[in-house]
Structure 1
Amino acid sequence: MEQIIKIFSDYAWGLPLVLLLIGGGFYLLILSRFLPFRYIGHAIQVLRGKYDNPDDPGEISHFKALTTALSSTIGMGNIAGVAAAISLGGPGAMFWMWVSAIVGMSTKFFTSSLAVMFRGKDSNGDLQGGPMYFITEGLGKSWKPLAIMFSVFGLIGALPVVNVNQLTQAVNDILLKPNGIEVGLKSNLILSLILVSLTSVIILGGLKRISNAASKLVPAMVLLYFALVLFVLISNYQVVPKYFMMIFSDAFAANNFKGEPFLGGVVGALILLGIRRGAFSNEAGIGTAPMAHGATKTAEPIREGLVAMLGPAIDTLVVCTLTALAILVTGVWQTTEDNGVSLTASAFSESMPIYGKYLLMVCVAVFSISSLFSYSYYGSKCLSFLIGADKKHYYNYIYILSIVLAVTTPFSVMLNLIDGVFALMAIPTMLSTIILAPKVLKEAKAYFKRLEA
C-alpha cells in the first residue's frame, strides 16, 4: 500500500501539473501586471474591517475568512512539511517554496475573487462559494464533470491525516518516550479519542463556530511560534547570514539533495520538491481556501481576492522561512536522522535544551487542532455539492474516523496520499481559474475605478 500511494503521488506530481500550477500562476501574475502586489496596503485595510458591511451577502467577516483559511494552511505543512523538504532537499528547497508562494499569491487572488464572483446555491438554497461553484456558475453546466472531480478528490484532500499523524509523532517523541511511557497502539488510540472529542465539539457547530475558534487561535499561535523561532535565531545569530545565503546558492546547485533526479537532473528534482512542499504548505491553486473565502460577507469579489492573497505571504514567506532557518542554523538537518516534526523539535531542543521541545509541542498542538476545524468544513462542503446539503453532516463521521486511522499510519504514507490528491484537486481549480481570469480582471478594473471615484 505504501509503495502504491508513493507511485500515485509521484505520477500525479509530474511535469504537466507543475506547469499548470506554477506556469499557470505565473501567467496570472503577468496577465494581471502584478496587480495583487500593487494593492497590498488596500488588502490590509480590508482585512482590518474598514469596508465591512453587515448587510452584505455571506456568513463571516474578511478577517474570519482569512484566519479560517490560514488555520488549515498554517499547520503541519509549516513545521513537518518544511522539515521534510530540508531533510530531503537541503537549504535550496526553501527557495523554491518561496517561488511557489509568490506565484501562489497571484493564484489565491484569482481563485478567491472567483469564489465570491460566482457563488452558487446549494440544495438548501444557501449561498456557497468554492471551485465547484465557480466552475458551474462561471463556465456553465457543461463543465460540471470538472466540478465533480474537484469535489470527489476534495473529500479525501480535506481529511486531517497529516496533521493528526504529526501531532501523534510529536506527543510520542516529546512527551511520552522521554518520560518512560510506553508508546504503542494503546497510547495512540487514547490520543485519537482525545482529538476526536475536541474536534467533534467544534466541527459539529458549523462554520460560525469554526471561524470563531480559528480567529482566536491563529493569530496567537503565529505570534508564539514567531517568538520561539526568533529566540533560536538570536541564539545562533553568527551563522544566520551564512545559511540565509545558502538557501539561494543551494537552490541552483542542489548540493544537499538526497532524492531521485527529475527531468534528468537533481536541480529539477529540487524544484519539484520545493513546489510540492510549497503547495502543501500554502495550498495556493489547490482550491481549499476559496471555499472559506467564498463564505465572506462582501458584495465585492476583488476585496476578498486581495485578502486571500495575504495567505501565502504569511504562511510560506514568513512562517515556513522561520522554521527553515531554525532547522538550518542549529545544524540538526545534518546531525540527525529525524524527519517531519521530530526534526523541528531537535532544532528547538538545541537552542532551548530543557523547555524548547515542550513549547514547540504547544505550537504543534494548536497548529494541528485548528487545522482539524477548517478541513472538516471543506470536506462537508464537497459532500454537500455531490449529494445534497441535507446529507453533508455525514462527512463529519468519516472525518472523525480518519483521525483514528491517521494516528496508526506511517508519516510518508499520509504525506504522499494528501500530496497526490492535492495534485488532482489543482487540475480543475487551475484550469477553470485560467479560463475565467479575464472576468476577474474586468471586475478588478471596475472595482478600483469605483474606489477612486
Structure 2
Amino acid sequence: MTLVSITAQFANLAWGPHMLVLLVGGGLFFLVYSRFIPFRYIGHAIAIVRGKHPDKGAQGHISHAGALSSAMAGTVGMGNIGSVAVAIMVGGPGAIFWMWISAIVGMATKFFTCTLAIMYRGKDENGQLQGGPMYIITEGLGPKWRFLAVFFCLVGLIGNFPLFNTNQLIQILKEWLIIKPGFYAVEQNTFWLDLSMGLVVMLLVGSVILGGIQRIASVAKSVVPLMIMIYMACAFYVIVNHINEVPFYLGLIVNEAFSLNSVGGGILGTMLIGIRRAAFSNEAGIGTEVMAHGSAKTNEPVKEGLVAMLGPAIDTLLVCTCTALIILISGVWQGSAAEGVNLSAQAFEITMPGVGPYILILCVFFFSISTIFTQAFYGGQCFSFLFGAKQIRKYQYVYLLTILFAATATLDEIINLIDGAYALMAIPTMVSALLLAPKVKAAADDYFARLSLS
C-alpha cells in the first residue's frame, strides 16, 4: 500500500456521515438553542473588535482584534484559495453550497466554543493563562474527562503541522516563478528544488514562531487584513467584469448541491466534501481557533464568542464564495489537470490576464506564512498541555522540520492526513461544547440583559 492510499483510508474513515451529524447537527442545535440572539449583535461584535468596549483589568495576552486576526490568519489562506479549488474539482460546484451551510451553522458553533474558551481557561506550568478545548474539557467537565483533552491534543499535534500551506505555497512559487519563466525544466526531478524552497520557508517561519503568540498576533494583525483587502479587491474586479454570469453560477452551485449525478457522488457525497472543505477553511468546531480566542484579553466570555462568530462569515461566506466564482467564471475547473492553488492561479490568469497570478502569489505567500505561524501556536499549545510548557522548544524544532516534508510530499498525501486529523479534533471539541452549552446560554442571557440596560 502507498502512503496516499493509507492516508485516504484514514481520512474517509474519519469523515463518515457521523461528522455530518456532529458538525452540522451540532451547529444547528447551537443556532436554535441560542434563539439566534447572537446574530442580532453582529454590529456590537464589530464594535468590540474596533476596541469600543474594553474590559478594565482584563486577563489575557492579546486584544480582541489580535485574537480575531490570529484566528483569521489560521483560516483565511490556503483554505480559501487552494481548498476551494479542491472542493470544486472533487465535489463539483455544489460543494460550495454545503460550505455556505457549514459556515452559517459554524458561526453559532464558534460563538459557543469561543465563549467557553474564555469561561474555562487554565494555566500552564509557567502559570500563564491559556485557552483551548483541552482546558474547556478539564476545567469545565472535570478531571474524569481528561482523556478527551489528551485525545484532542494528540490529534492536534498532527492536524496543526504546517503541511497543506507549505505544500501549496511551494507549488505556486515553483510553478509560476521558476518553471513557467523557464528557469527550470519541467522534465527534471524537482525534489531538490522543493527541498531548497522548503528550507527558506522553514528559516522564515522559525524567525517568528520562536517569539510566541504576541509576536504571531502582531504579524497577523499587520498582514492579514491588508492581504484580505487586496485579494477581495481582485475578486470584486473579476466579479464586476463578469456580473452577468454571476447569477448563472450561483444557480449552478445550488442546483449541483442537490443533484443525484453530481461530481461528488450524489447529494450526500457532495455534502460531505463541502463540509470537509469548510472545516478546513473556517475551522468551526475543530478547536484550533478556540486556542487563539482563548488568549484574548477579556473577562467577558460572551464578548469573545461574538468576535469569533465573525470568522466564518468573513472566511467562507465572503472570501471562499469569491474564489469559487472566479474559478467557475474562468472555466478552468472543466478539464484542467492543475491541483489546488495552481488551479486558482490559472483562473486568475484567465480573468485577470498578466497580473492576476502574481497578485494571487503575493496574497498566497502572506496568507500561507501567517497561517503557518498560527498553526505553530496551536500545535505548541497541544504539546505544552501534554508535556509541559518548558518543553515547547522541542516541539517547535520538530514543527519546523515538518516544513521540509511538506515541501516534498504530494498534495493527496498531505490533504488526507490533515483532513483525518481535523475530523478527530472535532469530536472532543463538539462533545464538550454540547455538554457545556447551558453554561454559555446562561452567560449570554446575562450579558445581553446587562447590555440592554447600559
Asked if Structure 1 and Structure 2 have the same fold, meaning a TM-score greater than 0.5 normalized by the shorter chain, the answer is yes
Alignment partner, residue 163 of structure 2? 161
Q: Aligned equivalents of 1:230 and 1:32: distance in 2?
A: 34
Alignment partner, residue 402 of structure 1? 402
Alignment partner, residue 154 of structure 2? 152
- Quote how far apart the aligned CAs of 1:237 are: 2.5
Alignment partner, residue 50 of structure 2? 48
Mapped pair 1:80 → 2:82: yes
Mapped pair 1:181 → 2:187: no
Mapped pair 1:229 → 2:235: yes
Q: Aligned equivalents of 1:356 and 1:59: distance in 2?
A: 38
The 8 Å contact of residues 210 and 374 in structure 1, kept in 2 or not, is answered as yes
Once the two structures are superposed, residues 253-310 of structure 1 have per-residue CA deviations (whole angstroms, 9 ceiling, x without a partner) of 15441x4x4xxxx111000000000111000000000100001000000000000000
Amino acid at match of 2:90: L
Aligned partner of residue 54 in structure 2, secondary structure: coil
The 8 Å contact of residues 262 and 270 in structure 2, kept in 1 or not, is answered as no
Structural mapping, 1:352-431, within 5 Å: 352-431=352-431
Q: Aligned equivalents of 1:91 and 1:422: distance in 2?
A: 23
Amino acid at match of 2:431: L
Aligned partner of residue 57 in structure 1, secondary structure: coil
Residues 1:276 and 1:212: Cα distance change in structure 2 (over 3 Å): same
Alignment partner, residue 326 of structure 1? 326
TM-score, normalised by the number of residues in structure 2 = 0.97
Q: Aligned equivalents of 2:70 and 2:213: distance in 1?
A: 9
Structural mapping, 1:31-430, within 5 Å: 31-53=33-55, 55-182=57-184, 184-253=190-259, 255-257=261-263, 259=264, 261=265, 266-430=266-430
Once the two structures are superposed, residues 183-209 of structure 1 have per-residue CA deviations (whole angstroms, 9 ceiling, x without a partner) of 612211221111111111110111110
Amino acid at match of 2:131: G
Aligned partner of residue 333 in structure 1, secondary structure: coil
The 8 Å contact of residues 279 and 286 in structure 2, kept in 1 or not, is answered as yes
Aligned partner of residue 32 in structure 2, secondary structure: helix
The 8 Å contact of residues 330 and 347 in structure 1, kept in 2 or not, is answered as yes
Aligned partner of residue 52 in structure 1, secondary structure: coil
Alignment partner, residue 28 of structure 1? 30
Match of residue 6, structure 2, among 4, 7, 29:
4
Structure 1 runs of 4+ off > 6 angstroms? none
The 8 Å contact of residues 326 and 351 in structure 2, kept in 1 or not, is answered as no
Aligned partner of residue 333 in structure 2, secondary structure: helix
Amino acid at match of 1:200: G
The 8 Å contact of residues 89 and 254 in structure 1, kept in 2 or not, is answered as no
- Quote how far apart the aligned CAs of 1:36 are: 2.1
Q: Aligned equivalents of 2:351 and 2:437: distance in 1?
A: 47
- Quote how far apart the aligned CAs of 1:312 are: 0.5
Amino acid at match of 1:208: Q
Q: Aligned equivalents of 1:276 and 1:422: distance in 2?
A: 9
Aligned partner of residue 231 in structure 1, secondary structure: helix
- Quote how far apart the aligned CAs of 1:54 are: 5.6
Aligned partner of residue 287 in structure 2, secondary structure: coil
Aligned partner of residue 244 in structure 2, secondary structure: helix
- Quote how far apart the aligned CAs of 1:353 are: 2.1
Q: Aligned equivalents of 2:392 and 2:55: distance in 1?
A: 29
Amino acid at match of 1:321: T
Aligned partner of residue 436 in structure 2, secondary structure: helix
The 8 Å contact of residues 92 and 254 in structure 1, kept in 2 or not, is answered as no
TM-score, normalised by the number of residues in structure 1 = 0.97
Q: Aligned equivalents of 1:232 and 1:298: distance in 2?
A: 40
The 8 Å contact of residues 195 and 404 in structure 2, kept in 1 or not, is answered as yes
Residues 1:342 and 1:256: Cα distance change in structure 2 (over 3 Å): farther
Gaps of 5+ in 1: none
Residues 1:377 and 1:54: Cα distance change in structure 2 (over 3 Å): farther
Gaps of 5+ in 2: none
Amino acid at match of 1:210: I
Residues 1:177 and 1:289: Cα distance change in structure 2 (over 3 Å): same
Aligned partner of residue 43 in structure 1, secondary structure: helix
The 8 Å contact of residues 254 and 270 in structure 1, kept in 2 or not, is answered as no
The 8 Å contact of residues 236 and 330 in structure 1, kept in 2 or not, is answered as no
Q: Aligned equivalents of 2:114 and 2:210: distance in 1?
A: 25
Q: Aligned equivalents of 1:87 and 1:201: distance in 2?
A: 36
Residues 1:212 and 1:54: Cα distance change in structure 2 (over 3 Å): farther
Aligned partner of residue 431 in structure 1, secondary structure: helix
- Quote how far apart the aligned CAs of 1:172 are: 1.6
Aligned partner of residue 61 in structure 2, secondary structure: coil
Amino acid at match of 2:75: T
The 8 Å contact of residues 80 and 319 in structure 2, kept in 1 or not, is answered as yes
Amino acid at match of 1:236: H
